[in-house]
Structure 1
Amino acid sequence: MLTDCRRWHRSTRSALWGLLAIACADGSPAMAGDNRVADRRPGTGESTRFAIDASSLSGALIQYSQQSGQPIVFSDRLTRHLPATPLIGGYGSRDALDMLLEDSGLDWELIDGRIIAVYRQECDGQDCDSPRDTVSNNPVYEPGIEETYVYGSRLTGSRIRRTDYSGSAPVDVFRSPDIELSGAQSLGELLRFVPAVVGNSTSTAIANGGDGTASVTLRGLPASNTLILINGRRVANDGLAGESVDLNSIPPAAVERIEILKDSASAIYGSDAIAGVVNVIMKQDFRGLLAETYYGETERGDLETRTNTLQYGTGLPNGSLFLSASHYEQEPIFSRDRAVSASADTRALGGTDLRSSATSDTRVVLADGRTLIADGAGYRPAGPDDLFDYQAYTTAVVPLERTSLYGNAIYDFTERITGLVEFTYLETEAASTLAPTPVFTAFEQSDLTISADNIHNPFGEDITDARRRLVEFPERRQLNESEVIRFVAAVEGLYDDWNWDAGYTWSRSEASQITRNLVNADRLQRALGPAAGCLGAEIDGCTPVDLLGPAGSITPEQVDYIRADGRVSGYSELSSISFNVSNALLHLPAGRGDVAFGVEYRQESTDKRPDDLLASAATLGATNFEATRGKRKITEFYAESVLPVWRSPSEAVTLHLEGAIRHSNYSDFGDSTNPKLGLLLQLGSELLLRASYSRGFRAPSLNELYEGETEEQAFIDDPCTRPGSAAVLPGCNGQADPSRNQFLTVQGGNPALEPETSHGYSAGFVWTPAALGSLRLSLDLFEMEQEDVVSSSAQFIVRQNALYGSFAEDVTRDEMGNLVLVRATNINVGQRLVRGADLGLTYHFPRDRWGQFSLNGNATYLGDYRARTDAAAPEIDFAGTFRDEASEGLGGIPQWKWQLGLRWHDNRWRASADLHHVSSMKEQLPGTGGTRTIDSWTVMDMQLSYTFDVLEGLRLSLGVDNALDEDAPLAASAFNDNIDGRTHELKGRYWYTRLSQRF
């Protein structure tokens, strides 16, 4: 297989292995000595800088081969159950290999003076996995031997294969052992604690306004600004005309590692990579059968989670096969089951009262201005506590069920050409629970006036403002289903000195959403109208509805008449053909130079179809919208190069220049050309300085371009609700009702949108001091400027209208000054400036009789997050603040977010302890204009595992998340559960166990 490295699977004798390896490894360094690697002990000769952190010995040996440039052969049967000792620092090749094989029962020697062969130290005749030839005395290898031809691996953010592990921009790598130690059962759950991930990412922790999908938001930019790849290839977005890929559509059990590039990469990958790239690498090099089961639940007995996984991998005569099947179930957490989220009234906790004015007993405003509420014995004046607490009904974490299948097959057509076929099928089901449907007759798109002669109207006048929570209805249920299919066929190989690959990718995401127990607005309008138009079900098919009475006044017959369900379905589809070539120019004066070229043709399409009720804005309690349909074609060309600019006579100091450029042609808006430049200055073996500049762009999504008009009740802070402001602001014609915080908003697409553009800068260093052994420190400063941001901000329009009287044609108020309707169409008006720093730490303590300890840490500091909705609007610094997405905010943007992990392993034992920290944030209290502080939050996750020797390959893991049971801090302005559910977790202490058996 010609991928990250070249591995051949053959059942030949050692002589053929030696000839094959020599042929493949032409140009790799020769090794001195008869049977051992040349002695390069520190202090006695040249050393190699190693960064080996694989969990298995198989992975560690492959990393050793990549980083040392030495071809190696070994039996996966010998190594697959053995752990590896992390190795970071400068070592001689011999010393490094000896350290990797220490206490493993394995040894090594050279074949034909060039290829390292790993074998078992002791041999008992036929029981030895690597018997020796009686004539040559060389090891004889069985099927399953792996030979690695090292010509480099692709690092996310580059199309060039490299043997080093550092580029001009920082890349975080989460390998399979890291994923396992996290205990996460979904990629969204794993990535939420990454320090660079802040803002409005979605997950199943977002119930009201969520749909069971998960996204990632690097640097606090929207999810559409982070490109999601699988094995370096694009994937279709979420099926409901989504702006990004649903991470829940990627089967985590089949993931080998995740690489996160924290830098703009439009020059390499094209659109959507303004904030960075998340590249999910799936498993390939897997041998044997794995059966695994996982169970977890919170200390309070909810959020029960089960995962069952089967995986099988085998070597074929000319290739390999890998299959993975997994089933995942997650039960819910209800808002009422946690103290912080039990009530929308958080005044006792230091927050505010966000209960709804749509009460179970009807709240009515009469023509004389009086506000009354039904109490079963008539009507009384409404008081400040006559509000509805919807938190008693809602799910805080959505129950989810996921079934996934993944497989790949690799076939070596020749020694230089390899084919790959990859397939994914995944189904998900999510079901969230919401409070019964509210009715605000004065603020719906339909005219819901209760006629004076309606048989249930006791006031003898038309009622235009009645607010009622329909508790006679069952609670609303939102059911989301999705089906994702992905297929890849690729061929790659070597021709002379050129590495090439050609591939076809097709993926499709289909999704549907059903919201039950809504209100049919057309029927309700008729049921509230003049008596002559609604005489009874037996007479004219219409049942008058008692919307003005106390809770229980709406009879089952009335419920049946106006109750409705809303359904929407859609798909996103992507297909692409690509061709890439790369070459190492070995004869440049300063060393090896690399170039890569490529072309990609891509088609994208989406279709979101509401049923007739939703499309005609005829429901209450759900989002009404028109259909969205769009498609486009994209052709892209790119070139990339890494060139050695200068090398000192001692070769200890080198300067490399990275350059890339990509030209993109879109059928719907035109062309975009984006370059990137980077510098790498290596100062000896200890210090690497790096810097980069990149220009990025994001093509407006098909949804942003072609979305039909969408109607929703958006959370808006209306300045006209404050007494002191309403009297003086030019856009206010009276004090609006302060008890309302949701207002009818209509949004829509704009085919005239232009791409968002950005300029990104970064500079930093990687320091690996030899005097401190295996310490590795990194610091990178970054700045990103973004212009022409696509915005559809009803909040901005309302604020500008109130303060300055602008956007008068988009804001409608009634005669009392209340907001009736806000129109907000997508436009290119936004600007952002983000500055900060990324820090990284890795240290492996010297191994002693207590085992091996390692320390890993990452942190992100956001010093500035300046944004403006329009060039004429004031610039606001959001760094260190929280503003909920439901109020058109950016979510939580903490200035500091870090994680620090301690790892330990000793023979069959492994353990980890991880701290996750989010700094405090400021929030604005709704309706008051005041601010408060959301407390900082630190949690500890722990895990312990043991591999049994009674049954080889059996491993038991026990873990606890949030071991100290740290409560999520109150966010008084949060729409969901009074916390920032995208940053903090509501679950509290969570226990889990995992049992796996590998054969």
Structure 2
Amino acid sequence: MVRCTEPLSSSTVHWREESLMLPVQYLHKSSRSRRRGSSFAVLTLSTLAAALSAAAHAQQVGEAKADTEQAKAKQADAKVLEAVVITGTNIRSSNLLSSAPITEVGKEVFEGTGSISIESTLSRIPSITSGLSASSNNTSTGGDAANVGVATVSLRNLGSARTLVLVNGRRWVSGVSANTGYGVDLNSIPAPMIKRVDILTGGQSAIYGSDAIAGVVNIITKTNFNGLELNALASNSADGGAGKKRFDLTYGRNFDGGNAWISVGMSKQMELRSSQRPFSSNALGFADTNNDGILDAMVVRNESAYGDRSALFFGKLKIFGDGSTFNTSQPLLDSHFNRLGTTDWYNQFNHRYLVAPYQPSYIASGLTVNVDEKSKVEFEMNYTKATSSVALEAAPASAVADAFRVAQGGTTGIDVATSPYFAGSSAGAQLLAAMGPNTSLDRVQTYRRMVELGDRTVSNKRETFRTAASFTHDFSDSLSWKSSAVYGTTSELQTNTGDFSIPNFRNALTIEADGKGGYRCASAQARIEGCVPVNPFGTTDSLVGKAGITGISPAAAKYLAIPTGQTGEISQVVVNSVVSGQLPFSISADPVSFAAGVEHRREQAKETPDAFRQQGLSRDLKVSEISGAFSVNEVFGEVEAPITKWLSLSAAARIGHYSTVGTNITHRYGFNAPVLDVLRLRGSWSPRSVRAPNINDLFSNGVTNTAPANTDVCNGVTASSTGNIAVNCRSVPAIANRIATLGSFTLVSSEPNNTRLLLAGSPTLSAEAANTKTLGGVLTPMRGLSLSVDYYDIAIKNGITRLTPDLLVKNCYSAAPNSFDSTCGGILVRDANDGPILNLRSPLINAASIKTQGVDFEVGYVGHGLNVGVFANYLNRYDVVDASGTSTASAGRPLYPKWRITTNASYNVTDQLNLFAQARWRSETKSFLTANNYSDELNNMKAVTYVDLRANYKATESLSFYVGSNNVFNVQPAINVRDPAIGTNTEPGAYDVIGRQYFVGMKFKM
């Protein structure tokens, strides 16, 4: 993007770090012209206000910075030195044009939408989707809870681990929990510091190294402050909740030969509960009301989400502890999501978040010193502290499954016929009537929520510190050298509430008569430690109930409750040195430019959960410690060769040696062809871009989830079933005994849904490789107007993935019987009594391939006080071939719409009043693209348009005010029937879950 300080009608262009873009044909008319990597005039709305006041502002800056012609000359030299830093290349040149398209987002776009988050603004760009966000990362108190408050983005839907985020062209340390993933936390980068964001898509590993398969997001921050700037913002939603606040203050001064500045600020995202919006106030299920096999109506989901009352299930018998009937109906919902009936199933969504709260605060500073006319030193320092929290419903508990772990071979020792928990009770009598001669509680499913311990909460405090320094020296007009060093670290402290000790729960259930008409814990040691009996069965008319033990007393809750949490630290060191300039020969009239350099990078991480979860002694999911590190040394080079006045060719290569995956080579080629004054063609090809496995990929000990119900391939095996799978299944004693007793090994009730899946890394992984292509052109038919079209094609091979649980088990059980291992190499554990799979470990492997193709369109117009930019993406295909060889097409699903279009418009009504508008449109999508049993009305997710408006009034030269509204027409999200984010019923990465919002703000500069 080209910026100038003169009106477009001026024949002389003076280049500086402000405001406006010129169409491509004007680039060839100035010896000082430059490009920031964008090969065409991307006309973002953000540039208009600055453009209209550029000339006056330039004069003010000039008067403040220079009193003599000599000072002005030094300042001009410094500007030239800064101007040649280009996103997408290490070559420093005054007229280099990128062979790949770059979209630029200016700071005014962030201000125009009242944003406090970089992620929420960038995800409006058609090539970007959100990864983690306040609306999608709010569903867990397990290992994933470490990421509450983290925000990431994904280019081309290829994931945050394949999207390289830079700040001022340099790497930023990961902020995602090392045990769960990898990605830069955009909430750790102060939004008020943004000057612009350059988005360069396609394989860029030859330029920037690993992780740039999808492309690069380069965040350029403000520098060279001179004076004081104060900003304030407040926002709220029309329907309540999800309010925002922001305040920041920046002060800087120019001095002889440099500039120094410091900035402080804080922002706050307030919570929005799921219960505060109709579409998310109930957990949704779907029903077939016409009995035609088609799900056509929304209902309250029927799930084993037992609630405040104790529930006892045995076969078809479902009762509460007091003996009353459990209402298992699924009430229909009307079009406004109101219940049309009652149910005793527990509504988890009453306790969940649509938007999780977080509060970042920061301090940042910078220093630039022009050592002499040819040398410059720069320093950056950033420190961000962010707090965040999330809450879920009270922890579920089962005396049989949790306290006594019957599934793993334990026993309750409780007989329903004689136990004081059930003797004489209504619930006990009903159970005995249904159970037959075997009256062990081991056969009963016992459910309740530990409401006495309160909701489960997670509180995170995350601190990010980063410092960077660089030295630049110009040996001559055609040769320069730049070296830089970056150190970054992210540390986290997590504290959780609402969990309980499994051993203590077991002690509190193992009771005896106290000789005084009551009961006590049977273990004398447990009594010394504070053990108090509990009655999780709710049998108020039993012997225990009549003794006054009807639930969990405050003393018992104190004994059961345990604090959980974890600490973690991620660090990164990057050192590089680059020589750039012009070679002493040329092919055409223009010189051949080059860059060559070396880089060293080291990343390491450690994460330590509390002892309870590490040992599996808590109700919450087991979380393991992680520790690992890797380093890479690289050499790289680029060359840009003008062949003729209408063609320039470029090439880049990088060789890196990793301590983990060995040597990897990447290379990239490009061309620029200004075939006419109004038409320029461009293209790039990267036959090999790489993503080396990160610390999470290599060293993660795993996060536990629930495996799909179809995981166990032994389900349905009988004594007469044939084949290796059947033979191997029957070799497991628990399965053989069940077949002998019941005739088949058929999973019943909740058995197929109780397999815990441990998602782990693998130290044997190799690097992913991608072949990427772009081809397009830029047309500038008239002054102020530019149009561009770019086709892209990205193919990833050797992708890091994992086998689906059912395929993992199938591969193991398909082995020849004489070589079969029932533990599958130690990754599978079965119930010793009844045979279902209890635990399954799924390591990462290199097996997937991804193919995505599409076209980007951009249109920009500047003139007559109007600035319009249109950004569009057409997704032709997005196909993933998983480890089993199954290909899945995703183009047309919620996160992969066929079309996304964002239109920005800014208009100066007067010198004081500016109007800003943004419209975002995404085409209709489907939850399922293949045959399914949902009606079209439920499966189809309609196209949506969001409109955002802002008015800015400049009261004085120093003071301006603005007011605006996002989602002006209060468009509600579509329901996603396939895989909604928990607590939302929709896809928050695609749809706005807040509704209409209002914001006001002010800016003061002096």
User: After TM superposition, is the score higher than 0.5?
Assistant: yes
Q: Equivalent residue of 1:841, what SS?
A: strand
Cα distance, 1:132–1:583 mapped onto 2, change above 3 Å: closer
Task: Quote the residue 1:436 is aligned against.
Answer: 394
Which among 449, 452, 455 is matched to residue 414 of structure 2?
452
Task: Quote the residue 1:556 is aligned against.
Answer: 554
**1:137-183 CA distance string (max 9 Å, x none):** x9997998887437952332211124447411111111222222232
Cα distance, 1:635–1:298 mapped onto 2, change above 3 Å: same
RMSD over aligned Cα, in angstroms? 4.2
Cα distance, 1:996–1:556 mapped onto 2, change above 3 Å: same
8 Å CA contact retained: 1:371, 1:382: no
Q: Which amino acid aligns with 1:919?
A: S
Cα distance, 1:312–1:947 mapped onto 2, change above 3 Å: same
**1:653-684 CA distance string (max 9 Å, x none):** x1111110001111122110111111211112
Q: Could you tell me how far apart the structure 2 residues matched to 1:142 and 1:274 are?
A: 42
Query: What is the 5 A alignment of 1:601-680?
Result: 601-621=600-620, 623-647=621-645, 654-680=646-672
Task: Quote the residue 2:795 is aligned against.
Answer: 785
Query: Is residue 137 of structure 2 the alignment partner of residue 228 of structure 1?
Result: no
Cα distance, 1:425–1:441 mapped onto 2, change above 3 Å: same
Query: Is residue 778 of structure 2 the alignment partner of residue 766 of structure 1?
Result: yes
Which among 464, 473, 486 is matched to residue 493 of structure 1?
473
Of residues 294-303 and 380-389 in structure 1, the stretch that sits farther from structure 2 once superposed is 380-389
Which among 977, 985, 990 is matched to residue 984 of structure 2?
977
Q: Equivalent residue of 2:349, what SS?
A: helix
8 Å CA contact retained: 1:681, 1:689: yes
Cα distance, 1:66–1:560 mapped onto 2, change above 3 Å: farther
Task: Quote the residue 1:323 is aligned against.
Answer: 262
Of residues 543-552 and 782-791 in structure 1, the stretch that sits farther from structure 2 once superposed is 543-552
Cα distance, 1:205–1:933 mapped onto 2, change above 3 Å: same
Cα distance, 1:226–1:302 mapped onto 2, change above 3 Å: same
Q: Which amino acid aligns with 1:412?
A: N
TM-score normalized by structure 1? 0.81
Query: Is residue 759 of structure 2 the alignment partner of residue 747 of structure 1?
Result: yes
8 Å CA contact retained: 1:305, 1:328: yes
1:642 CA drift (Å): 0.9
Of residues 480-489 and 812-821 in structure 1, the stretch that sits farther from structure 2 once superposed is 812-821
Query: Is residue 779 of structure 2 the alignment partner of residue 776 of structure 1?
Result: no
8 Å CA contact retained: 1:797, 1:807: no
1:916 CA drift (Å): 1.2
1:979 CA drift (Å): 1.2
Q: Could you tell me how far apart the structure 2 residues matched to 1:100 and 1:67 are?
A: 24
1:604 CA drift (Å): 1.1
Q: Could you tell me how far apart the structure 2 residues matched to 1:488 and 1:229 are?
A: 12
Q: Could you tell me how far apart the structure 2 residues matched to 1:488 and 1:307 are?
A: 26
Task: Quote the residue 1:173 is aligned against.
Answer: 104
Unaligned runs of 5+ in 2: 34-39, 44-48, 141-146, 288-295, 331-342, 423-427, 432-438, 514-520, 541-549, 730-743
8 Å CA contact retained: 2:18, 2:50: no
8 Å CA contact retained: 1:534, 1:543: no
Query: Is residue 909 of structure 2 the alignment partner of residue 899 of structure 1?
Result: no
1:196 CA drift (Å): 1.0
Which among 545, 550, 555 is matched to residue 534 of structure 2?
545
Cα distance, 1:934–1:257 mapped onto 2, change above 3 Å: same
Q: Equivalent residue of 1:839, what SS?
A: strand
**1:600-642 CA distance string (max 9 Å, x none):** 1122110001111111122223x32221001122101100111
Task: Quote the residue 1:942 is aligned against.
Answer: 949
Task: Quote the residue 1:703 is aligned against.
Answer: 696
Task: Quote the residue 2:436 is aligned against.
Answer: none
Q: Which amino acid aligns with 2:784?
A: S
Q: Could you tell me how far apart the structure 2 residues matched to 1:249 and 1:130 are?
A: 32
Q: Could you tell me how far apart the structure 2 residues matched to 1:557 and 1:488 are?
A: 53
Q: Could you tell me how far apart the structure 2 residues matched to 1:747 and 1:149 are?
A: 51
8 Å CA contact retained: 1:535, 1:543: no
8 Å CA contact retained: 2:861, 2:868: yes
8 Å CA contact retained: 2:403, 2:506: no
8 Å CA contact retained: 1:936, 1:969: no
Which among 194, 209, 213 is matched to residue 125 of structure 2?
194
Task: Quote the residue 1:991 is aligned against.
Answer: 998
Task: Quote the residue 2:310 is aligned against.
Answer: 362
**1:204-249 CA distance string (max 9 Å, x none):** 5531145110001111112111111111111211163141111111
Task: Quote the residue 1:155 is aligned against.
Answer: 86
Cα distance, 1:746–1:106 mapped onto 2, change above 3 Å: closer
Which among 847, 854, 868 is matched to residue 829 of structure 1?
847
Q: Could you tell me how far apart the structure 2 residues matched to 1:548 and 1:927 are?
A: 44
1:937 CA drift (Å): 2.2
1:104 CA drift (Å): 7.6
**1:728-769 CA distance string (max 9 Å, x none):** 997994254379767411232211111111111121111111
Task: Quote the residue 2:372 is aligned against.
Answer: 414
1:828 CA drift (Å): 1.5
1:484 CA drift (Å): 0.7
Cα distance, 1:498–1:865 mapped onto 2, change above 3 Å: same
Bigger relative contact order, structure 1 or 2 (CA pairs below 8 A, ≥6 apart): 2
Q: Could you tell me how far apart the structure 1 residues matched to 2:65 and 2:382 are?
A: 37
8 Å CA contact retained: 1:899, 1:917: yes
Task: Quote the residue 1:566 is aligned against.
Answer: 564
Which among 463, 487, 492 is matched to residue 483 of structure 1?
463
1:699 CA drift (Å): 1.2
Q: Could you tell me how far apart the structure 2 residues matched to 1:153 and 1:294 are?
A: 34
8 Å CA contact retained: 1:206, 1:982: no
Q: Equivalent residue of 1:295, what SS?
A: strand
Task: Quote the residue 1:867 is aligned against.
Answer: 880
8 Å CA contact retained: 1:356, 1:390: no
Of residues 278-287 and 736-745 in structure 1, the stretch that sits farther from structure 2 once superposed is 736-745
Q: Which amino acid aligns with 2:170?
A: R
Of residues 661-670 and 921-930 in structure 1, the stretch that sits farther from structure 2 once superposed is 921-930
Cα distance, 1:357–1:877 mapped onto 2, change above 3 Å: same
Query: Is residue 516 of structure 2 the alignment partner of residue 504 of structure 1?
Result: no
Q: Which amino acid aligns with 1:915?
A: A
Q: Could you tell me how far apart the structure 1 residues matched to 2:283 and 2:785 are?
A: 48
1:442 CA drift (Å): 6.7
1:823 CA drift (Å): 2.1
8 Å CA contact retained: 1:596, 1:640: yes
Identity over the aligned pairs, expressed in percent?
A: 22
Q: Which amino acid aligns with 1:170?
A: P
Q: Which amino acid aligns with 1:904?
A: Y
1:392 CA drift (Å): 0.3
Q: Could you tell me how far apart the structure 1 residues matched to 2:89 and 2:222 are?
A: 20
Q: Could you tell me how far apart the structure 1 residues matched to 2:394 and 2:380 are?
A: 45
Cα distance, 1:290–1:734 mapped onto 2, change above 3 Å: same
Which among 677, 680, 685 is matched to residue 685 of structure 1?
677
8 Å CA contact retained: 1:170, 1:263: no
Unaligned runs of 5+ in 1: 8-35, 73-86, 91-98, 108-117, 122-126, 648-653, 883-891
TM-score normalized by structure 2? 0.80
Q: Could you tell me how far apart the structure 1 residues matched to 2:55 and 2:625 are?
A: 65
8 Å CA contact retained: 2:77, 2:373: no
**1:681-717 CA distance string (max 9 Å, x none):** 111221121121111111111122112244x233635
Q: Which amino acid aligns with 2:897?
A: P
Task: Quote the residue 2:921 is aligned against.
Answer: 917
1:471 CA drift (Å): 2.4
8 Å CA contact retained: 2:264, 2:364: yes
Q: Which amino acid aligns with 1:507?
A: G
Query: Is residue 318 of structure 2 the alignment partner of residue 372 of structure 1?
Result: yes
Cα distance, 1:150–1:668 mapped onto 2, change above 3 Å: closer
Q: Could you tell me how far apart the structure 1 residues matched to 2:60 and 2:242 are?
A: 46
8 Å CA contact retained: 2:828, 2:841: yes
Q: Could you tell me how far apart the structure 1 residues matched to 2:1000 and 2:169 are?
A: 32
Task: Quote the residue 1:22 is aligned against.
Answer: none
1:444 CA drift (Å): 6.0
Cα distance, 1:180–1:200 mapped onto 2, change above 3 Å: closer
Q: Equivalent residue of 1:463, what SS?
A: helix
Cα distance, 1:167–1:724 mapped onto 2, change above 3 Å: farther
1:452 CA drift (Å): 1.5
Query: What is the 5 A alignment of 1:281-292?
Result: 281-292=220-231
Q: Equivalent residue of 2:627, what SS?
A: strand
8 Å CA contact retained: 1:286, 1:312: yes
Q: Which amino acid aligns with 1:427?
A: K
1:544 CA drift (Å): 3.5
8 Å CA contact retained: 1:398, 1:430: yes
Q: Could you tell me how far apart the structure 1 residues matched to 2:523 and 2:929 are?
A: 48
